[in-house]
Amino acid sequence: MEQQKYLFTFSICTLITQWDEYELMKSTFQEKGFADDSEFLNVDNSKGNVADAYHAIRYFLNHAKGKYIVIVHQDVRCIDTKETLMSCLNHLNKLDDKWAICGNAGAKGYHQDIMYINTSGRIDISENLPCKVSSLDENLLIIKAEKRLTISDDISGFHFYGTDLCFIADFLGYSSYVIPFMVKHLSSGNLKDLELHRKPFIKKYGRKLRARYIQTPCTKFYAGGSELSNSICNKPFFFFLIKFWERLKYNSTLMTKGNLHRKKVSKENDL
């Protein structure tokens, strides 16, 4: 496959609510080497919510011209250099060519927060990085453009988009990592507002991850959330029960709406 050419190494993307904060963030990145080979993209929310984080990130992913798309909060100050980040990313490329997104803070399971960040003066550094994780904090996200990552269109707001991107990367067969690249984040986030978005996010992913009966033009099967349930439910007896339930739902639809997609079959010579 021919490697795509990029106009920049880095596209540094920010959703702005305060221009003075943004300019300070931008200047720290430029001072650390992100200047000649970087572009700075933004979505301006300084006069009102023109776009939420999901819409802004979709814009960045579609318009960025860099090999690596850096999505960063306006209240972040860059500490490590561009050379440090390039070293981290080159190491990650050799370690796992399936990585699609990385950051400086995330988690990989129960009580396993993985960090490399200065948060308002508190410095958290996990050992043995890079580390594969299942979610990432949104203060700094670095996306490998060639993986063509996207973001959910049925979720909105300003929270959990780091987790959403990690989930989508996993669905596509890619991985997510925390890397040792230090920035200073001037806030710990709006935890009260976070809780308001938690339940809708869970509800959306409850539907996305639902078990379901699948029928293709050639075959049919059950796909659930675990290897055990898939093994059991695709055995003849249990799959018969699943098909019976699907038939009941189909018959109910026929009774209320009729056959909306009636099919006529003929041979080519009969036409």
Q: Does an H or E element contain 235, and which?
A: none
Q: Quick: pLDDT tens for 81-90.
A: 999 999 999 9
Q: Which amino acid is at 24?
A: L
Mean pLDDT, rounded, for 20-43:
97
User: Is the pLDDT assigned to residue 39 strictly greater than 90?
Assistant: yes
Higher pLDDT: 189 or 172? It is: 172
* Model pLDDT, residue 271: 58
| Radius of gyration of the CA atoms of the chain, in A | 23
Name the band, by pLDDT with cuts 50, 70 and 90, for residue 189: low
Name the band, by pLDDT with cuts 50, 70 and 90, for residue 74: very high
Name the band, by pLDDT with cuts 50, 70 and 90, for residue 169: very high
Number of alpha carbons in the 13 Å side-chain half-sphere of residue 234 = 17
Domains and CATH numbers, the chain: 8-208 (3.90.550.10), 212-257 (no CATH)
Q: Quick: pLDDT tens for 125-139.
A: 999 999 999 999 999
Name the band, by pLDDT with cuts 50, 70 and 90, for residue 2: very low
DSSP assignment, residue 120? T
DSSP assignment, residue 270? G
The residues near 64 (Cβ < 8 Å, ≥ 6 apart) are 11, 13, 39, 41, 145
User: Is the pLDDT assigned to residue 102 strictly greater than 90?
Assistant: yes
Mean pLDDT, rounded, for 238-258:
90
Does the pTM exceed 0.85?
A: yes
* Model pLDDT, residue 270: 66
Name the band, by pLDDT with cuts 50, 70 and 90, for residue 97: very high
* Model pLDDT, residue 3: 59
